[in-house]
Amino acid sequence: MNQPLFIYFVGTAGSGKSSLTQAFKLWMDRHGFDAVTMNLDPGAESLPYGPDVDIRDWISLRQVMDRYSLGPNGAQIISADLLATKAPEIKEVVDEFKADYFLVDTPGQIELFVFRDCGKYIIDYLSKGRALIAFLIDSFLAKNPSGLVSQLLLAVTSLFRLEAPMSSLLSKSDILKDAERRQILSWCEDPDKLYGSITSSMPTAYKQLSVNLLQVLAELGAELKPSCISSENLGGMEDLYTQIQETFMGGEDLSKD
Ligand SMILES: Nc1nc2c(ncn2[C@@H]2O[C@H](COP(=O)(O)OP(=O)(O)O)[C@@H](O)[C@H]2O)c(=O)[nH]1
Ligand SMILES: [Mg+2]
């Protein structure tokens, strides 16, 4: 492959982005694929993997706090904006690797990458046309139907903001009991079931809102139907790999075996 593919792991804080970066890298190594990890979170204190490319080499949250007399939240915002200014230097390092895949761990708080302009800027600068957003839906939050819908809406917002193909993943699926997993997947397949579960204890005034939101999700179709994945037991890694192939190569297998 000439041009590398970039997989951006995006999701709410704690949804498992850093863990999945580590676990998918492990899976790719085991299968003989050439993957490089990249950390884009300047505020990451400890990571479950040693990033090959690390934004902390350019931006230190502590230094931003000291320099601008900010607390951690303000410094996260400035750091996110600084991220875009470092794009040319990051690209130089990226080009040196000559890897097939870059697994990109995005900042802990989703709004820093999705709501500010730096996320789209970085994606376009590093990987225009060669980026997949792997959107993590946290299983723990998705057990509740409104938690699932809120995350699906965030996935739609991310798609809208980042303008790149997306795969949605039900992360940490190992924590779900079989019945819970089936329930979540059936909500994703059947909007009527989801509507029933979501409105059963909802005040009437908000039911129409649910109808409208679920209609938006139904119209967006397959893109948002998650597949289960677990960084704990490596379940679902092959499906993610297949989705990457289908998105960029029309299903052609790039296996090096
Ligand atoms: N059981 C289980 N826990 C996970 C999994 N992925 C992440 N976690 C845990 O969820 C928490 C948040 O994970 P992290 O990767 O830091 O999330 P991030 O904020 O999105 O980067 C950590 O305590 C992880 O150990 C998983 O697949 N299974
Ligand atoms: Mg993280």
Atom number, ligand 1, closest to the C-alpha of residue 175: 1
Residue 46 pLDDT > 60, yes or no?
yes
Q: Is residue 167 part of a domain?
A: yes
**pLDDT category of residue 216 using cuts at 50, 70 and 90:** confident
Position 86 scores a pLDDT of: 95
CB within 5 A of ion ligand 2: which residues? 17-18, 108
DSSP secondary structure of 191-227: HHHHHHHHHTTS-GGGHHHHHHHHHHHHHHGGGG--E
Does any domain span residue 13? yes
Inter-residue contact 37 to 248 (CB < 8 Å): no
Give pLDDT, residue 224.
82
Q: Which of 172, 180, 230 to mutate to test the pocket of ligand 1 (most atoms within 8 A of CB)?
A: 172
- Cβ-based neighbours of 63, under 8 Å, separated by 6 or more: none
Cα 215 to ligand 1 centroid, rounded to whole Å: 31
Write the residue with the smallest CA distance to atom 8 of ligand 1: 16
213 found inside a domain: no
- Whether residue 232 lies inside any domain: the answer is yes
Residue 252 pLDDT greater than 70, yes or no: no
Q: Report the C-alpha gap between 126 and 84 in whole angstroms.
A: 11
Would the pLDDT of 58 be above 50?
yes
Ligand 1 atom 19: the closest Cα is on which residue?
14
pLDDT in tens, 150-209: 999 999 999 999 999 999 999 999 999 999 999 999 999 888 898 889 888 788 888 888
Evaluate if residue 253 carries a pLDDT over 80: no
Residue 38, domain member (yes or no): yes
Ligand 1: residue of 9, 19, 41 to mutate (most ligand atoms within 8 A of CB) is: 19
How far is ligand 2, taken at its centre, from the CA of residue 14, in Å?
Answer: 7
**pLDDT score for 210:** 87
Confidence band (pLDDT; 50, 70, 90) for 220?
confident
DSSP 8-class letter at 106: P
Binning pLDDT at 50, 70 and 90, where does residue 251 land? low
Domain of 102, CATH number, reads 3.40.50.300
Distance (angstroms) between ligand 2 centre and the Cα of 40 equals 9
106 belongs to a structural domain: yes
Does 256 have pLDDT greater than 50? no
Protein residue with its CA nearest to atom 4 in ligand 1: 172
Q: Among the bound ligands, name the one nearest to the CA of residue 110.
A: 1
- Kindly report, residue by residue over 99-151, the tens digit of the pLDDT: 999 999 999 899 999 999 999 999 999 998 899 999 999 999 999 999 999 99
Q: 236 lies in which domain range?
A: 5-175+224-249
Identify the residue whose C-alpha is closest to ligand 1 atom 6: 16
198 in a domain, yes or no? no
pLDDT at position 257 is 47
- Burial (CB < 10 A; 0-12, 13-18, 19+), residue 11, is buried
| Average pLDDT of the residues of the chain | 92
Average pLDDT over residues 11-22: 97
- Residue 42 binned pLDDT confidence (cut-offs 50, 70, 90): very high
Number of domains the chain is built from: 1
For ligand 1, residues with CB inside 6 Å are 11, 13-19, 108, 171-172, 174-175, 230-232
Give a yes or no: residue 91 inside a domain.
Answer: yes
